[in-house]
């Protein structure tokens, strides 16, 4: 997508992902959105390019409702946002992953960002100055992209989300602080990619089907002068039997590829659920152990009874004296 002097793309396997149903979401043409196809297990990056006529900019990348990156870019420069920086020379790349879902009302109430799953949003701000400064690691945003379970009924954006791959080494340039021209809550431009599985986008009519049914230009029963022969017309069944072999093979290969991708996605989701199940079992065992300790302490306390306190009244030395405890009239 491009707005004026700034162009942004999502790159996967070295190629820009095809953008479907690109549109402007505002009358001032300052926000654009589109759909892209996401494949589970595929890494990606966000590429930002500004031309010489554009002033310096600062871009804030939001993934699934979480701010993950803030980068300053000089005019006439290209910058690739590869992942989340986790150290002076380390990052974790972005990767498309399956969503882990559970049926839990509590999760639906405590995970408000679930409504933003399936979105990449780049907010562009104009800046007046870039101030070089030494790098100082404070806190990584990698915790924002953990594949936490989401309640099934709060998941509106499909079955994919973004997580982080294993750490890699990267040589970073100098860091900078900036002076903003545009307010943080009012970006100059905004780009949003809504990523979904290919099957979902095809079901929604956003992405064309792989094998559209070819329509014949002739109506059933019509004929042309060249048809006046003794040959018997072929039926639909005989026509399908005479389809070129290379078309049949292509369909089989593509079908197998799609099935394999769906199978791998289910396996990844199953592994995530199993890991969650093991964690819950460990938590359950710890609670049971704590409950047993408390139960044992309670039984001991009940068996000992309540200790009687020593009376502050002295009733004599045991020599037969009588002490009158009645009040005087």
Q: State pLDDT tens for residues 186-235.
A: 999 999 999 999 999 998 899 998 875 554 444 444 444 444 444 444 44
Q: How many domains does the chain have?
A: 2
Q: Tell me the sheet residues that pair with 80.
A: 47
Identify the three-state secondary structure at position 96: strand
> What are the pLDDT digits (tens) for 237-282?
444 445 555 544 555 555 676 777 778 778 777 776 877 777 778 7
Does 304 fall in a domain? no
pTM over 0.75: no
Q: CA nearest 122: which of 281, 212, 3?
A: 3
Instruction: With residue 130 as reference, give the H or E element that holds it.
Output: strand 119-133
- Does some domain include residue 218? no
Angle in degrees, CA 134, 135, 139, rounded to 5: 145
Do 76 and 175 belong together in one domain?
Answer: yes
Task: State whether 199 and 252 are in the same domain.
Answer: no
Q: What is the CA radius of gyration of the chain?
A: 34
Neighbouring residues of 205: CB distance < 8 A, sequence distance ≥ 6: none
Together in a domain, 269 and 139: no
pLDDT at 258: 72
Q: Is the pLDDT of residue 161 over 70?
A: yes
- Give the pLDDT band (50/70/90) at residue 124: very high
Residues 99 and 153: their CA atoms lie apart, in Å, by 13
CB atoms within 10 A of CB 284: 10
Are the C-beta atoms of 54 and 7 separated by less than 8 Å? Answer: no
Distance CA 28, CA 45 (A): 28
Ramachandran angles phi, psi of 279, nearest 5°: -65, -40
Q: Collapsing DSSP states into helix, strand and coil, what is residue 153?
A: helix
Residue 20 in this model has a pLDDT that exceeds 50: yes
Residue 90 lies in a domain: yes
Residue 151's DSSP bridge partners are 102
Same domain? 112 vs 252: no
| 95 & 152 share domain | yes
**Does 268 share its domain with 167?**
no
Same domain, 257 and 173: no
Residues 183 and 36 in one domain: yes
Residue 306 lies in a domain: no
Q: Give the pLDDT confidence of 92-107 residue by residue, as tens digits.
A: 999 999 887 766 665 5
Is residue 13 in some structural domain?
Answer: yes
With residues binned 3-state (H G I as helix, E B as strand, rest as coil), the percentages for the chain, rounded to 5, are 30, 30, 40
Q: What is each CA distance from 323 to 297, 314, 326, in whole angstroms?
A: 43, 9, 9
In a domain? residue 307: no
The burial class, CB within 10 Å (0-12 / 13-18 / 19+), for 219 is exposed
Q: How far is CA 87 from the centre of its chain?
A: 22
Same domain assignment for residues 197 and 252 = no
Q: Is residue 190 part of a domain?
A: yes
278-299, pLDDT tens digit by residue?
777 877 888 888 888 888 888 8
Q: Are 197 and 38 contacting, i.e. CB atoms less than 8 angstroms apart?
A: yes
- Residue 171: inside a domain: yes
Distance from C-alpha of 81 to C-alpha of 124, rounded to nearest angstrom: 14
**For position 14, what pLDDT does the model report?**
92
Q: Could you tell me if 199 and 282 lie in one domain?
A: no
Please check whether residues 143 and 289 belong to one and the same domain. no
Range of the domain at 279: 248-299
Q: How many CA atoms lie within 13 A of 177 on its CB side?
A: 4
Q: Of the candidates 203, 232, 261, which is a domain's last residue?
A: 203
Do 38 and 167 belong to one domain? yes
pLDDT of the residue at 51:
81
């Amino acid at each position: 997508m491009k707005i004026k002097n700034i162009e942004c793309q999502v790159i996967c396997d070295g190629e820009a992902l095809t953008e479907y149903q690109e549109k402007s979401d505002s009358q001032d043409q300052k926000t654009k959105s589109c759909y892209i196809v996401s494949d589970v297990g595929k890494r990606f990056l966000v590429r930002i390019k500004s031309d010489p006529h554009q002033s310096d900019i600062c871009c804030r990348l939001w993934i699934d409702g979480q701010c993950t990156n803030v980068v300053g870019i000089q005019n006439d420069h290209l910058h690739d946002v590869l992942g989340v920086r986790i150290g002076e020379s380390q990052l974790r790349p972005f990767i498309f992953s399956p969503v882990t879902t559970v049926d839990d009302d509590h999760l639906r109430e405590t995970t408000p960002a679930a409504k933003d799953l399936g979105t990449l949003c780049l907010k562009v701000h104009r800046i007046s100055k870039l101030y070089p400064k030494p790098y100082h690691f404070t806190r990584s945003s990698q915790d924002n992209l953990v594949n936490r379970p989401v309640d099934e009924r709060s998941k509106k954006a499909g079955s994919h989300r973004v997580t982080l791959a294993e750490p890699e080494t990267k040589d970073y340039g100098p860091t900078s602080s900036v002076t903003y021209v545009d307010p943080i809550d009012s970006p100059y431009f905004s780009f949003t990619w809504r990523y979904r599985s290919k099957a979902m986008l095809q079901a929604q009519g956003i992405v064309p089907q792989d094998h559209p049914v070819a329509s014949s230009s002739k109506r059933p029963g019509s004929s042309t002068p060249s048809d006046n022969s003794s040959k018997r017309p072929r039926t639909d069944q005989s026509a399908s039997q005479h389809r070129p072999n290379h078309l049949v093979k292509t369909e089989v290969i593509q079908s197998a590829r799609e099935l394999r991708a769906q199978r791998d996605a289910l396996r990844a989701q199953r592994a995530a659920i199993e890991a969650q199940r093991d964690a819950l079992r460990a938590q359950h065992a710890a609670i049971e152990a704590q409950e047993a300790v408390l139960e044992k302490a309670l039984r001991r306390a009940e068996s000992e009874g309540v200790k009687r306190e020593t009376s502050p009244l002295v009733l004599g030395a045991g020599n037969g004296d009588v002490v009158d405890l009645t009040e005087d009239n």
